[in-house]
Amino acid sequence: MRLSAFTVVDSPTGGADGVADRYADVLRLAEAAEEGGLSTLWIAEHHFQPGGLCPSPPVLLAACGQRTRRVRLGVLVSVLPFHRPIELAEQYAMVDRLTHGRLNLGVGSGYIPIEFEGFGVDPATKRERFDRALETLLAALDGREVRADEPGARPVRLNVLPLQRPHPPLWIAVQRREAIPYVARRACSLALIPYATLANLAELADEIREFRAHLPPGASAEVAVALHLYAGPRPDAARAAFQRYLDSRLATQSAFYQEKVRRDPRHASGSAIEQSDFALFGAPAEVARRLGAFAAIGVDEILGIFDFGGLATEEVTASVRGLGAAMVGVGPGSVSIPRVDP
């Protein structure tokens, strides 16, 4: 099981102040991920609300690429219904070239109402838009002839192709269980954010089993799972920051998490999420030990959300390095931890 870092670049103040500081924080997080031996730094795309301050992941990933040499760099996710797929293909092909083939490509269909409203996209059309955009995106990255949807568009081929062929490794993020077979049948890797939708580790294990059951024979697709992590001497500070983060998600139309809390208000509390094992706070050795439960149910990669709720950058980077050092592995980003019952 690999350990990675995942940032949604949330705003601790809820406003535009300090945006440049948050980008600087992400650059320091990239450096810490590299130094800590983590596998990948993943960055989320968000728009029009303080729950995420990165509307253009290719820009920030390219900047991270200049600060690092080994760690892979990923978007989780590029929200396909909001973009022209040919333009996305050009941008991410450039990022893959600039980072010497280190790009991971995560895609999704979006879930925050204000973002759909801001782009004038009807959420009822997002599945159709996603399918059509993904087909064009992958064909373009593969160097095939593609045509934009606009009337009068002529067929074109990209003049810059990614270093990784036919395209960078592909993940699809889902928050609805009924979408899991769709991802599996495509033989794509699956990204899950269980704190927003699931009650416990047993439900996560069920989703992973369902995904594996629907994979085509011989497929090598993986499962990545996002968890809030803190590995250091001040877990109470991390818990306070985590509660601030959850409060902000409820205030900024995070639809799936809002629905989970509507069904069971206890999940508005950070302590309830921590009790479900979808947030792990403690000393590095203890957090590393508890991650063994995720290896046991078939998780291939942990997407550690280390920077959340205004937690101090020094705490974040020390946590990344500390947990990386606590993982006993056979190479950078790989961890070997005891299999334990979830």
233 domain residue, yes or no:
yes
List the CATH number of the domain containing 55. 3.20.20.30
**Would you state the pLDDT for residue 258?**
87
Tell me the CB-side half-sphere exposure of residue 115, using CA atoms within 13 A. 25
342 domain residue, yes or no:
no
**Would you state the pLDDT for residue 294?**
97
**Would you state the pLDDT for residue 14?**
61
Q: How confident is the model at residue 93 (pLDDT cuts 50, 70, 90)?
A: very high
Say if CB 304 and CB 74 are below 8 A apart.
no
**Would you state the pLDDT for residue 12?**
74
**Would you state the pLDDT for residue 250?**
87
User: Does position 100 have pLDDT exceeding 60, yes or no?
Assistant: yes
331 domain residue, yes or no:
no
Q: How confident is the model at residue 252 (pLDDT cuts 50, 70, 90)?
A: confident
**Would you state the pLDDT for residue 16?**
59
- pTM score, two decimals? 0.94
335 domain residue, yes or no:
no
User: Does position 325 have pLDDT exceeding 90, yes or no?
Assistant: yes
Stretch among 20-24, 155-159, 299-303 having the lowest mean pLDDT: 20-24
333 domain residue, yes or no:
no
Q: Quick one: average pLDDT of 193-220?
A: 96
161 domain residue, yes or no:
yes
Report pLDDT digits (tens) over 107-142: 999 999 999 999 999 999 999 999 999 999 999 999
Say if CB 33 and CB 4 are below 8 A apart.
yes
Average per-residue pLDDT for the chain? 93
**Would you state the pLDDT for residue 17?**
62
**Number of domains the chain contains:** 1
Q: How confident is the model at residue 340 (pLDDT cuts 50, 70, 90)?
A: very low
Q: How confident is the model at residue 187 (pLDDT cuts 50, 70, 90)?
A: very high
For the chain, percent of residues with pLDDT exceeding 90: 85
338 domain residue, yes or no:
no
340 domain residue, yes or no:
no
**Would you state the pLDDT for residue 188?**
97
Q: Which structural domain, as residue segments, surrounds residue 287?
A: 2-326
